């Protein structure tokens, strides 16, 4: 998929006006999930925004209780009803747990795609081995893989797979739950570029080939700042300094 460098992560957003403001600010990739319990909020924001539906990439994720083969279509249709849409552009397996069985879940997702309920099928929070297994069972190409990716936690093996098979990694939590603001390296780089640690973190994430990101923001100022951060070009020294931070902070372990 050809995704913009920065989209909107909506976990925790409970006001359609925020989603509408994001779209009106220029966001074209909106990401939600069944487990966020806000698909209706996202759908309301889309309806209120001044943008054509065809200009937006809308993604949602099937939770682990919708992954049995016999539940995939019903789960997808329930998400579409909450979103107020006829189809989504991208439908993820949120986690390979619960009722997930690659041999039966993924063919059911192919069927949903063939029925026109989604244009693309993606994965989220998979290991490299699980991605390889999914590839064996999915007729449709893996359109995207959504993973935790920020200066304190990123997996080179997943990045290499995305590059090898030419699909985007969609990086969630690029600001590490706000921890980027307190990191000395990011503070130093931000001072050098006369910007914020948040902008530096987003620019570092999007500096990687085959990586886009979906930070969450609620205020108009933060929405616009996150979107603009993709235009910040870090030099090789700054990228290497950030990549060399010796700290592992996985926020959402399996």
Q: What amino acid positions are annotated as catalytic residues?
A: 36
- CA 164/CA 144 separation, integer angstroms: 13
Burial (Cβ within 10 Å: 0-12, 13-18, ≥19) of residue 194: exposed
Question: Does residue 49 contact residue 18 with C-beta atoms inside 8 Å?
Answer: no
Q: Number of C-alpha atoms within 13 angstroms, CB side, residue 232?
A: 26
- Sequence-distant (≥ 6) Cβ neighbours of residue 245 within 8 angstroms: 151, 152, 183, 185
Q: How many residues does the chain have?
A: 254
Handedness of CA 212, 41, 92, 142 (dihedral sign): negative
- Sequential DSSP letters for 102-162: HHHHHHHHHHHHHTTSEEEEEEES--HHHHHHHHHH-SSPEEEEEEE-BTTB--HHHHHHH
- How close are the terminal C-alpha atoms of the chain, in Å? 26
**How far is 65 from 83, CA to CA, in rounded Å?**
19
């Amino acid at each position: 998929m050809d995704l913009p460098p920065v989209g909107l992560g909506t976990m925790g957003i409970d006001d359609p006006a925020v989603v509408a403001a994001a779209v009106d600010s220029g966001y074209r990739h909106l990401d939600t999930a069944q487990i966020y319990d806000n698909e209706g909020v996202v759908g309301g924001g889309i309806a209120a925004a001044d943008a054509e539906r065809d200009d937006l990439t809308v993604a949602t994720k099937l939770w682990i209780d919708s992954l049995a083969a016999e539940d995939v279509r019903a789960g997808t249709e329930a998400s579409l009803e909450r979103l107020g849409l006829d189809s989504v552009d991208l439908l993820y397996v949120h986690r390979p747990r619960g009722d997930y069985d690659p041999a039966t879940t993924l063919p059911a997702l192919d069927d949903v795609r063939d029925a026109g309920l989604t244009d693309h099928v993606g994965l989220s929070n998979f290991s490299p081995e699980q991605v390889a297994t999914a590839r064996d069972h999915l007729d449709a190409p893996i359109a995207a893989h959504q993973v935790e990716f920020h200066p304190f936690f990123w997996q080179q093996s997943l990045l290499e797979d995305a590059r090898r098979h030419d699909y985007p990694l969609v990086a969630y939590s690029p600001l590490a739950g706000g921890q980027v603001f307190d990191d000395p390296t990011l503070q130093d780089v931000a001072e050098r570029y006369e910007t914020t640690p948040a902008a530096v973190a987003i620019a570092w994430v999007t500096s990687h080939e085959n990586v886009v990101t979906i930070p969450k923001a609620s205020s108009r100022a933060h929405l616009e700042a996150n979107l603009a951060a993709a235009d910040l070009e870090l030099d090789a020294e700054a990228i290497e300094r950030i990549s060399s931070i010796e700290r592992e902070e996985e926020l959402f372990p399996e």
